[in-house]
Structure 1
Amino acid sequence: MIRSADIREWRDRDVVDPKGRKIGALEAIYVDTATDQPAMATVRTGLPTRQRLVFVPLDEAMLGPGYVKVAHAKALVRHAPSIGTDDILPAEREESIFKHYDMPYRPGANGERQLARR
């Protein structure tokens, strides 16, 4: 299991898919608000002049020397919901990330968000 304490060390590491293909660079970690455990990462992709942040789940993620390997193919991640490099995730778009990866979306009992940036 990935520990929350390790998160600070992940920033700017390469994010690779199961076949080792580089997807982009890790920008930020989002934790599940119910458990405070890492749930999603944003990955910086695109050309240097037109970058964006795509979301990828951290389920089954593995840390290696200088990289984070995720369980999802590069093509799937590249087509995931994204935000601008200076933007924040709007609450109304959070569910679309989970749907993209066929994952259940579980907001809090009072409608609280499931993800929080760390």
Structure 2
Amino acid sequence: MIAMADIREWRGHPVVDEKSHRIGSLESVYVETATDQPFFATVTVGLAGRRRLVFVPLDGAVVGPGYVRVAFPKSQVKQAPAIGTDDVLPVEDEPAVFAHYGLPYETGAGGERRLARR
């Protein structure tokens, strides 16, 4: 897993899939609230005036010279749940982000949300 301090330094850098196809640019990092560890990234995709942020898990991600490589195909990432470039993921949309990648979703013991933007 990429360390939080490291991943923050990569904002704005290209995000590529496992076959080096460019997906977009790294915009922000969402951490798991229970551990404060990086869990998802948002990637800016789309054309000017129609940009949106899609979510991709950071599990299996690696950084290279000038890029962040994620472990998911470009087509899957581009079809992921998205938010506007100035928005934050609503708590009620969290389960859909996890489901898109086949990841289990559980809230905290007190019902708190699973992800927080950093």
TM-score, scaled relative to structure 2:
0.97
SS at match of 1:56: strand
Partner of 2:89: 89
Q: Unpaired segments of 5 or more residues in structure 1?
A: none
Partner of 1:105: 105
The whole-number CA distance in structure 1 between the counterparts of 2:111 and 2:10 is 30
Partner of 1:117: 117
Partner of 1:24: 24
The whole-number CA distance in structure 2 between the counterparts of 1:22 and 1:112 is 34
Partner of 1:37: 37
Pairs aligned (count): 118
Q: Deviations for 1:35-90, whole angstroms, at most 9, x for unmatched residues?
A: 11100000000001210000000000000111100000000000000000011111
Matching residue's letter, 1:114: R
Cα deviation, residue 3, structure 1: 1.1
Q: Where does 1:39-58 land on structure 2 (aligned, <5 Å)? A: 39-58=39-58
CA RMSD of aligned residues (A): 0.8
Cα deviation, residue 112, structure 1: 0.7
The whole-number CA distance in structure 2 between the counterparts of 1:8 and 1:17 is 19
The whole-number CA distance in structure 2 between the counterparts of 1:91 and 1:112 is 9
The whole-number CA distance in structure 2 between the counterparts of 1:5 and 1:88 is 21
Cα deviation, residue 5, structure 1: 1.6
The whole-number CA distance in structure 1 between the counterparts of 2:94 and 2:79 is 15
TM-score, scaled relative to structure 1:
0.97
Percent of residue pairs bearing the same amino acid type: 63
Q: Unpaired segments of 5 or more residues in structure 2?
A: none
Partner of 2:8: 8
Matching residue's letter, 2:82: S
Matching residue's letter, 1:80: A
